[in-house]
């Protein structure tokens, strides 16, 4: 039986989520999830504070976006224009799935 445990590790200015799976025999599998588009935007800007000031928000808002891994659609277009990061990497993955389902059904 696998039990997922979630930890967030700080690496530079962005976070990587690591999922650790354990069995009864204490064997461990580790899966790394790629950094999000917002993490790339923070790296491109230099710091969370600099990115926040460029977008007209607080550093705490940028931190929240990093924790959840996506930004609101309105901000995604601003970040895409400023840092050339694809909007698909910035927005909520659920929105992207809905959009792909809508185009597939045509």
Supply the pLDDT for residue 106: 65
pLDDT (average), residues 90-99: 87
Separation of alpha carbons 75 and 78, rounded Å:
5
Supply the pLDDT for residue 103: 73
- List domains and CATH numbers for the chain: 3-104 (1.10.260.40)
Separation of alpha carbons 106 and 104, rounded Å:
6
Q: Is the pLDDT of residue 8 over 80?
A: no
Confidence (pTM): 0.62
Separation of alpha carbons 6 and 19, rounded Å:
5
> What number of CA atoms fall less than 13 Å from residue 72's CA on the CB side?
7
Q: What does each C-alpha distance from 10 to 3, 18, 63 come to in angstroms?
A: 23, 11, 12
């Amino acid at each position: 039986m696998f039990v997922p445990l979630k930890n967030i590790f700080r690496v530079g200015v962005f976070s990587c989520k690591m999922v650790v799976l354990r069995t009864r025999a204490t064997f461990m599998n580790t899966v790394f999830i790629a950094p999000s588009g917002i993490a790339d935007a923070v790296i491109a800007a230099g710091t969370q504070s600099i990115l926040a000031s460029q977008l007209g928000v607080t550093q705490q808002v940028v931190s929240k976006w990093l924790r959840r891994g996506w930004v609101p659609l309105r901000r995604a277009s601003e970040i895409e224009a400023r840092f050339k990061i694809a909007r698909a990497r910035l927005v909520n993955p659920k929105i992207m799935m809905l959009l792909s389902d809508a185009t597939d059904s045509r």
